[in-house]
Structure formats: structure tokens, C-alpha cells
Structure 1
Amino acid sequence: MNAALNRNLFFVKEHTGVFKAANNYDIHDPNSQEVILHCREENLGFFSKILRFTDYKRMTPFHIEIRTPMGEKLLTVKRGVSIILSNVEVLDANDQLVGKFKQKFFSIGGKFDVLDASETFMCTLQGRWTSWDFKFVKDNVEFAQVSKQWAGLGREMFTSADNYMLQINDKVPADHPLRILILGAVMCIDMVLKE
């Protein structure tokens, strides 16, 4: 596993744009402000681009690759067309399945089961609909949390850009697959629950 994935703090900054269909992010080290990862949705189909400007945006497929600044692919987060509930796959650098997120029915604020490649339950991603605060928990143990860093009224009103702080608990060991799933989930939260 790449050393960049063993960090505990990630600041995720969405690229701004008034009329943008694709979702692109940079992930920074919050202390040095250095860009440590790029998240790009480069191969967005024509019809998906059109639907991203409609009420059907949450149903459109996505395929985001997270790479180092040097271009080394670390993981992929993808979903096909989603009618009611989302099932999102997370793949490693070799396009091998690491795990999945399965959206829960009737969850207020958003809730996903985080599963490994064999569909064994690892934790739950749960949030509150009144804020941008999400936690990864299992048996009352918190593995990570994601919170939104507000960018200001003007920016929030006229663009769809969001910034997030991801904090992974020391309880998640280095090189553990859960780290890949947690980082992938940040993209999932934005594209499935908050768009």
C-alpha cells in the first residue's frame, strides 16, 4: 500500500466550477497544504454529463481514480446507474476489489454498510442530515470521521464545491484495507448523499 494512504489526516478540496459535470478533487496534507493525491473523474460519458445538470444527477454512474501527483493509481471508486440505493465498489491499484459500500434503505442523513471484498461487514458509515458530519463506526468504536469545512456563503451558493476533513483513528493499522475504503467513502458521500 502506498505510504500516502497511511496518513491519518486528509483535507479534500473539490475543484470549483459553475457549469461542471465531472467531479474532481485534490487531497492535501492539512499541515503543509501540500497536494498529496488527485481524484479525477476523467471518462464521464456524454449522457452522464447531460444528466449531471438535472434532478437525475444522483442516479448517474461515476468512476473516480485517486492517484499520486506523479500519476501512480492508488484506488478507484465506481458505481453504475443507481435507481434507488447505491452500491459502490472500491478497487485497489491493480483493479482488484477491496470492498463495497451498500446504501441502507430509510436512513436519515445517509448510511452505508462498509463491506470487504468477500462482503464481510467491516463498519457503518453514518451521518446526520442536518450537517456534514459522518462517522465510520462498529460496536461503538469510531474508526474515522468526515466533516465539512465551510468555504463561505458566496462560494457555497454559486458553485457546488465542497471541502472535507477526513480524520482516521490510530486504531486503523497502517496498510489495512479499511484505510482504502474510508478514503474511497469520502468520494461516495459527496456523489451519492450530498450532491
Structure 2
Amino acid sequence: MHPALRQNLFLVKEHVGFFKASNNFDVFDPATGDLLLHCREPNLGFFTKLLRFTDYKTMTPFDVEVTTPDGEPVVRVTRGVNLFLSKVKVLDEDNVCVGGFKQKMFSIGGAFQVLGVNDEPLCLLQGKWTGFQYKFVHGDQVLAEVNKKWNGLGKEMFTTADNYMLQISDVVPPDNPIRMLIIGAVFCIDMVLKERG
């Protein structure tokens, strides 16, 4: 696992554009303002770009590459054409599958089951339909939270509604591969759940 994923706080800022087909994000350390990661879709096909501007955008495939600012691969998140419920794969920096997510049916606010490499359930990503607030939970334990509200050191970096904070709990060890799945799922929230409508 790449060392860039070992910290617990990540500020995710989306690149906003009027005619923007691809999903592009930058990830910062909210304590220092340092740029940690780039998230890009460099291989977006022509027809996929066209469909991103239609009601079919949530059905389009994606292949998101998360890298360091120097271009070192960190995580890759992929999905094929989606007709009903999303199934997403997450790969590590060596393009080895480490698990993925499967969208849950009939969930209010959206939910993913986070799966290990053999499709074993690791935790659940749950959301609130009233706002951008998500939790990764395993039983009664919260492993991570994603929220648009933040009162910490990075508050001044929240300049638009397209920014949010990922906070990974101290119960998740710095070298636990579930961190790759949590980071990957953060981008899926935006592309699969919040882009509907």
C-alpha cells in the first residue's frame, strides 16, 4: 500500500466545470494544505463523454486513477457499464485487485457493501439522504466518515460545496488495505450516488 494513504484526514476538492465530462479531484492534507493525491479519468472514451451529459451518466463506465502529484500510482477504481446496481473494483498501485463495492438495493441515501478481494463483506458505506454525510461502519464501529462540514484546521480551504472531508478512524491501522477501499469509495460516492438526477 502506498504511504500517501497512511494519514487519517483527507480534504477532497472537486474540479468544477460547466461542460465537464470527466471526474477530477485533488486531495489535500487539511492540516498543512499540501497536495497529496490527484484523481483523474485520463482514458475517457468519446461515447462515454457524450453520455455523461445525459440522464444515462450514472450508467457510464469509469476508470479512475489516483496518483501522487509526481504521477506515482496509488489506487485505481474501475466500473464497467452499469445497468442497475453498481459493482466497482479497486486495484492497488501494482494493478492488483484488493476488493470493491457493490451497491445495496433499496437503500435510502445510498449504500455500498465494501468487499474484500474474495467478495467477503468488510464493512458498509451508509449515507443520509438529507445531505452529504457518509459513514463506513463494521457492526457498531465507525471506520471512517465523509462529510461536507468541517471545523478543523482546513476549514478555510472549503470554498465551494464540491469539497468534502474524509476522516479515517484511529481504529484502522496505517497499513490496513481497507484504506485503499475507503479512498476508492469516496470517489464512487460522487460518481455513483450523488450524481443522480
TM-score (norm 2): 0.92
Corresponding position of 1:57: 57
The match for 2:85 is 85
**Partner residue, 2:155:** none
TM-score (ref. length: structure 1): 0.93
* 1:39-91 Cα shifts (integer Å, max 9, x gaps): 00111010100000011111100110000111100110010110110000000
Could you tell me which residue of structure 2 aligns to residue 95 of structure 1?
A: 95
Work out the number of aligned pairs and report it.
188
- In the TM superposition, structure 1's runs of 4+ consecutive aligned residues that sit over 2 Å from their partners are 149-152
Residues 136 and 94 (structure 1 numbering): CA distance in 2 closer, same or farther, change over 3 Å?
same
Q: Which residue of 2 aligns with 1:159?
A: none
1:62 and 1:121 mapped to 2: Cα distance? 23
Whole-angstrom distance in 2 between the partners of 1:164 and 1:57: 22
Q: State the partner residue of 2:191.
A: 191
Unaligned runs of 5+ residues in structure 2 are: 151-157
Counterpart of 1:176 in structure 2 is: 176
Q: Distance in 2 between matches of 1:68 and 1:35?
A: 8
Quote the Cα distance in structure 2 between the aligned partners of 1:185 and 1:177.
13
Partner of 2:13: 13
Contact residue 114 and residue 124 of structure 1 kept, 8 A: yes
RMSD: 1.3
1:66 correspondence with 2:74: no
CA contact (8 A) 1:59 1:81 kept: yes
**Map of 2:154 onto structure 1:** none
Structure 1 runs not aligned, ≥5 long: 157-161
Match of 2:117 in 1: 117
Counterpart CA distance in 2 for 1:80 and 1:31 is: 36
Please tell me whether residue 41 in structure 1 is matched to residue 41 in structure 2: yes
- How far is 1:175 from its partner? 1.1
Contact 2:2 2:93 in 1 (8 A): no
